[in-house]
């Protein structure tokens, strides 16, 4: 099974079959306090960026939905300074990438974008929201799976290896504050397209 197929299986097709409930963007607000805990208890600071991953639909209506999402984020940019861009990765998945030094603004913007997809009937296209952190040379991410309605940690190392010690530490500290995925088979690694990059590219 290739990387593309695995991603689709875990965050898409298989997760849809094993879904615990429909996508609920309200879950994203748990990250507002998690940012504080990550910094105060674990010394992980925000990387100043977050992203929303979704699968595309080749239709005029979906294109109009993307325009509406962009319009909402443009309005937010004027108010909060959160910048955004749309990006397609090497596997054909779409990303809304947001940048802001204020983690609270990032959470709010990701929520606005996700909520617009749901309101327009495309909640099923949402795959994941990704929030990045760093401590020195170590990067870690909290990934929210919309199909599973839960977060899981991802701490990549060079050579497509995972720092499981960091991941389990994050779970032990944040479990309860975040709804953490209990089944580790759904802790899918979102490897970046190139070394040193973030999963969203």
The string of pLDDT tens digits covering residues 150-185 is 999 999 998 789 999 999 999 999 999 999 999 999
pLDDT score for 14 = 52
Cα–Cα dist 124/192, whole Å? 24
Instruction: Note whether residue 12 is domain-resident.
Output: yes
Evaluate if residue 7 carries a pLDDT over 90: no
Instruction: Note whether residue 198 is domain-resident.
Output: no
Instruction: Note whether residue 63 is domain-resident.
Output: yes
Q: What is the mean pLDDT of the chain?
A: 89
Evaluate if residue 60 carries a pLDDT over 70: yes
The CATH number covering residue 69 comes to 3.30.70
Q: How many domains does the structure of the chain reveal?
A: 1
Instruction: Note whether residue 32 is domain-resident.
Output: yes
Q: Confidence band (pLDDT; 50, 70, 90) for 21? A: low
Query: Which range is least confidently modeled, 12-21, 76-85, 117-126, 140-149?
Result: 12-21
Domain range for 38: 3-186
pLDDT score for 18 = 52
Instruction: Note whether residue 153 is domain-resident.
Output: yes
Q: Confidence band (pLDDT; 50, 70, 90) for 10? A: low
Evaluate if residue 43 carries a pLDDT over 60: yes
199 or 159, greater pLDDT: 199
Could you give the 3-state DSSP secondary structure of residue 83? strand
pLDDT score for 122 = 94
Strand order in the sheet with 45-54: 83-88, 94-99, 45-54, 126-135, 138-145, 150-154
**Statement: the pTM of the whole predicted model exceeds 0.75:** yes
């Amino acid at each position: 099974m290739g990387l593309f197929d695995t991603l689709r299986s875990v965050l898409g097709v298989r997760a849809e079959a094993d879904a615990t409930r429909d996508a609920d963007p309200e879950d994203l607000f748990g990250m507002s306090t998690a940012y504080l805990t990550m910094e105060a208890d674990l010394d992980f600071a925000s990387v100043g960026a977050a992203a929303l991953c979704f699968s595309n639909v080749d239709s005029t209506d979906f294109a109009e939905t993307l325009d509406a999402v962009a319009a909402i984020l443009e309005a937010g940019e004027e108010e909060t300074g959160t910048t955004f861009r749309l990006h397609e990765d090497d596997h054909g998945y779409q990303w809304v990438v947001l940048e802001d030094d204020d983690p609270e603004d990032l959470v709010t913007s990701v929520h606005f974008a996700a909520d617009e997809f749901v309101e327009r009937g495309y909640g099923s296209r949402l795959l994941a929201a990704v929030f990045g952190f760093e401590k020195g040379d170590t990067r870690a991410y909290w990934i929210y799976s919309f199909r599973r309605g839960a977060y899981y940690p991802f701490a990549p190392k060079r050579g497509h290896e995972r720092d499981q010690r960091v991941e389990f530490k994050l779970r032990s500290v944040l479990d309860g504050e975040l709804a953490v995925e209990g089944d580790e088979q759904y802790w899918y690694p979102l490897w970046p397209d190139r070394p040193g990059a973030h999963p969203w590219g």
